[in-house]
Copies of this chain bind each other. A is one copy, B any other.
Amino acid sequence: MNDQELLRPLIEPNTTKLILVVMDGVGGLPVNGTSELEKANTPNLSLLASSSACGLQVPVAYGITPGSGPGHLGIFGYNPLQYEIGRGVLEALGLGIHLTENDIAIRCNYATVIREGTKTVIKDRRAGRIPTDHSKKITEMLQEKIKQIDDAQIILLPGMEHRFALVLRFSHVLEKGADAIEDTDPQKEGLEPVTPLPSNVSAKHVLEIALKFVEKAAQILKDQEKANYILLRGFSSVPKIPKFNDVYGVRSLAIATYPMYLGVAKLLGMDTVKPEGGIAQEVETLKKNYDNYDFFYLHVKKTDSNGEDGNFEGKCRVIEEFDKNLPDILSLNPDVLVITGDHSTPALIKGHSWHPVPVLLKSRYVFGRTSASFTERECLKGEFGIFHSTDIIPLMLANGMRLKKFGA
């Protein structure tokens, strides 16, 4: 596995342009003999693959299915076993907030409870999956009524159905371990909410505020038919993580249409832009900003969404849509272009999977002529073989002539 500490002293400034396209969950599995990438009609990708360095990258380890956090950390060159983006942080980023080192982020569920004497018993952990509209309305009402508890600003981010995020924003940087708090969600109906026992003073303080919030909110929600309680999950703070531009000596821009990916990019210190529309608008945005940055991360979401839905044909259509936009990217003539995914999402599995992900790297300094198309089985024949996702950035930098020789 590559080590950022190995790279740092080797970084060399250059004016080369590097583009990393992440087609979320692009890797698939055969259905009736062909995978999504094999089935889709992709003349431009095939042509590019035949002259590119190809391979398959393992996001975390053989057999391990990555979440979006570890998947992205890996392709950005951060060891996903070393750095962790907590569930609360990922949820909050996905709802569009910019988090700082002063924040604790928590995933929340509206729940239905009944009171039995002094007991609070959970009847429905998801409050009957109340409609998003209603959920949004009561979240905004809570925000209106609860803005500060002790030394923490209360920030509420409406989500889908019974879900929303709570951010406790303190006026100071939090100590390590302040987020080491178990869920209050017992994961089962018929039980009482769990009262976690934090093992350090900072976490104890954070929990006190969070529980005060739950109490105040329950008071406000007490007449709601379903959403009359709140369960807390995934307490987490922003990880201490080196900045992308510092480690790799680049000026980077992230282009994505979904907040979570922009959020992860922001965590790493990238500039971000959120085009309205689909792949064409993302490529348009790339072109517009091409002179102002030298590293571009462009995220394509819908390959993953269709995979998650088990929509094999839908995923093929998104791949084809990308293929149509590829000549526009190539017209920029970048020094290095990588196309890959953060993990596989086979329609057959209807979810993320552990399978290695196809990679293609276009540059002047590759062999090519190993792989006839950008598919799992063709990339297997490529000059990169099967390698670790954290090696992608070093290969991009090397092909961009941005790494000095190691040793004399």
Contacts and interface: CB of A to CB of B under 8 A. Distances in A.
Contacts of A397: 63
Nearest to A402: B63
A383 B376 contact: yes
A398 interface: yes
B391 A61 contact: yes
Interface string A367-400: 1111000001100110111111001011111110
Interface residues of A, number: 69
A56 B86 CA distance: 36
Interface of A: 2-3, 6, 10, 29-30, 33, 35, 56, 60-70, 80-81, 84-87, 90-91, 234, 346, 348-349, 351-356, 364-370, 376-377, 380-381, 383-388, 391, 393-399, 403-408
A99 to B, nearest CB: 14
A377 B53 CA distance: 11
B85 A408 contact: yes
A394 B64 contact: yes
A63 B365 contact: no
Given A385-B386, A391-B61, A67 B369 contact: no
User: Which of A29, A81, A396, A407 has the most chain B CB atoms closer than 10 A to its own CB?
Assistant: A407
A86 B407 CA distance: 8
Majority secondary structure of chain A interface residues (helix, strand, loop or mixed): loop
Contacts of A60: 406
Nearest to A55: B386
Given A63-B393, A63-B397, A348-B364, 11 more contacts: A2-B64, A3-B61, A65-B405, A67-B405, A67-B407, A69-B407, A70-B406, A349-B365, A352-B405, A354-B403, A367-B376
A219 to B, nearest CB: 30
A354 B65 contact: no
Nearest to A398: B63
